[in-house]
A and B are shown apart, each in its own frame.
Chain A
Amino acid sequence: MRRLERKDMRAFLDKLASAASLVAPVREDGVVVFRPVSSGEQVVLDYVNPVRSAKELFFPQTEVMFRFLPSPVAGITPVQPDRQTVLFGIRPCDLAALSLLDEVFLGGDYRDACWARRRELTTLVGMACEQPDESSCFCTAFGITPGTADGADIMLYPAGEWLGVEVLTPRGQALLDRVLSDGAVALGEIGPPGAASQAGAGGGAGEAGDRLQQEYLKRPVRLGDRLRVGDLAKELDDRFDDPYWEEASRRCLGCGICTYLCPTCHCFLVTDVPKRDDGVRLRCWDSCQFKDFLLMAGGHNPRPTKKERTRQRFMHKLNYFVHRYGRYLCTGCGRCVQHCPVGLDMATVIADLRGVSEHV
């Protein structure tokens, strides 16, 4: 791990922006969101997590899959993204969410070309969480921590006047090399002056970096520490018919906010937009919370009421997905906790299902 002085952060971001198209957290109308930026000036560093997750960089809310000419001429031209991108400031929970969506889009017999392409083109610069949100973050429920760097190419660990910089992949190294190439920004060594020479021998600098990392890995996350899911997936095998689903679902508005903001929700629909002579095929986010999600010809709907739809959302994340992929489809990012207008969020539901109080 090396050391980046906080006062050099803007210059570091400027360099990232000149190395590739940079997407980073910015404040827009009072909320923090990931946006393309052209300079370090625009980036905010005092954020907990952007309101909208990082998934939309890889799986846009509306994505053109291909252009077509209709019958009888008929032709199909794939639309492929081609811009090298750097995503700066992604948190451990969103990093974990990307790896969960990798299971969906890249796993099994069918590889999703659009997702794969965007993943390949994007270098991820992660940011460990100095201050998880007291009332909504609960990543530790799923074994993720404020310092979990899995999936990042470079991970940053804030440490007061400076940040620890850990390079995790060759892609991360290549990006860092470009950023540092003209000497405008330099990284220092961690630890007492002179420690650098011992670093190779496993001395001070390495230890200080490890200590910083450990501190993040063990950082308490109040809500998550209370909610550890344990064997919940297994318990839910027998709770499909639990009256809880009906009870909980009564307050749902069916607005779909939870699914749109969730970094792991991936339901989409496919639709064509014809123009005069040609057109595009899009895929757009959809939500299992909408009542016509499964509506079929003749009016048959396998999930006709809010009970079935609420059950689907939580069972999918806490049970069905675990059966299929061996992991929970939630990272405790807390977005549904913050934004569900009626408090029917993952933390509440886990607390209810496990019979623990969510509030200390």
Chain B
Amino acid sequence: MMPHLARIEEIVAETASGDVKTFRVQFLDPETSFSHLPGQCAMVSVLGVGEAMISISSSPTRPRPLELAVKQVGRLTARLHEMEPGDVIGVRGPYGNHFPFEDMKGKDLLFIGGGIGLAPLRSLINYVLDNRGDYGKIDIIYGARSPGDLCFKRELYDVWPLAPDTRVLLTVDRGDEEWKGAVALVPHFLEQVHPEPEGKLAITCGPPIMIKFTLESLKKLGFADEQIVTTLELKMQCGIGKCGRCNIGSRYVCLDGPVFTLAQLETMPAEY
């Protein structure tokens, strides 16, 4: 449980309010062995405060700097948000399983993200786009409370839509004067977009309430449990199956997750 020291190189405010920031970090020791897969997480230390589990939002195809998108919700994340380029944090990992990017080959992919939930999806999206030939059509449905709350705007507007056979479909709960796009909750918007389940995998991540209704919408649209992939979030302390914090029945989210198919979730107690 010893973190590697890493220096913050650059900080990008993702949202208008600044409550989500991306931290680009480099390990102080360039020899640090740390190679992740899309969907894996890292335990991030602010020395003097503690640790928090954060998804790695950069793609393994672009391994350094490591990118971590963090929403300010409490003690540690607040301290992290006060830090500046040059500050040093701790990082250990990578932990957890990963999105089934091998099984996804040849399939059409439907990404459905909400708010900060786009962070882990972004790792997979960029991985898939860097291996574009291996995958079918890509639809990225993404929503946030307001236009200012959309994360990763540069990629949403200027990068992903330009990739071959790739659509980015945005929605917000509440628009503003300039917003010309959809105004709807993600699950409703998903039903309006009405994707066909054939040959497709849906990968969804976001706040628990969004995931809950998105899963229902996907079922309504005819997606089978095996075609739906999501991630779970539980409180964590160790990230490696020791601290007894993150179990759901006999599974540990930190070891066996955070990525689960809906088919797997159906076999687990609904205690999350």
Contact = CB atoms under 8 A, between A and B. Distances in A.
Interface of A: 65-66, 68-76, 78, 104-105, 108-110, 112-113, 240, 265-272, 274, 279, 281, 283, 286, 288, 293-298, 300, 302-303, 308, 312, 315-316, 319-321, 323-324
A297 B73 contact: yes
A72 B235 CA distance: 28
Nearest to B77: A297
B128 interface: no
A293 B1 CA distance: 20
A108 B255 contact: yes
Q: Which residue of B74, B234, B249 has the most chain A CB atoms within 10 A of its CB atom?
A: B249
Interface stretch (B149-157, B162-170, B240-248): B240-248
Contacts of B247: 312, 316, 320
B48 A272 contact: yes
B224 interface: no
Nearest to B243: A268
A323 B268 CA distance: 13
Contacts of B272: 302
A312 B50 CA distance: 26
Interface string B244-271: 1101011000010000000000000101
20 contacts: A71-B87, A74-B5, A76-B47, A78-B2, A110-B240, A110-B241, A112-B1, A240-B269, A267-B243, A269-B243, A269-B245, A270-B50, A270-B243, A272-B48, A279-B47, A286-B243, A293-B245, A294-B235, A295-B235, A324-B250
B108 to A, nearest CB: 33
Nearest to A321: B250
B89 interface: yes
B106 interface: no
Q: Which residue of A266, A272, A295, A308 has the most chain B CB atoms within 10 A of its CB atom?
A: A272
Given A240-B269, A302-B271, A66 B242 contact: no
Given A76-B90, A302-B234, A302-B271, A68 B242 contact: no
Contacts of A268: 237-238, 242-244
A207 B12 CA distance: 76
B139 interface: no
A324 B1 CA distance: 22
Given A74-B88, A268-B237, A272-B49, A303 B250 contact: no
Contacts, number: 116
A310 to B, nearest CB: 13
Contacts of A75: 5
Interface in B71-130: 73-74, 83, 86-90
Interface string B162-185: 000000000000000000000000
B7 to A, nearest CB: 8
A133 to B, nearest CB: 28
Contacts of B45: 281
B241 A69 contact: no
Given A279-B48, A296-B235, 5 more contacts: A74-B88, A112-B1, A266-B244, A300-B208, A303-B271
A105 B241 CA distance: 8
Given A76-B2, A302-B234, A272 B240 contact: no
Contacts of A69: 47
Contacts of B240: 108-110
B51 interface: yes
Nearest to A241: B269
A272 B47 contact: yes
B14 to A, nearest CB: 18
B197 interface: no
A288 B50 contact: no
Nearest to A265: B244
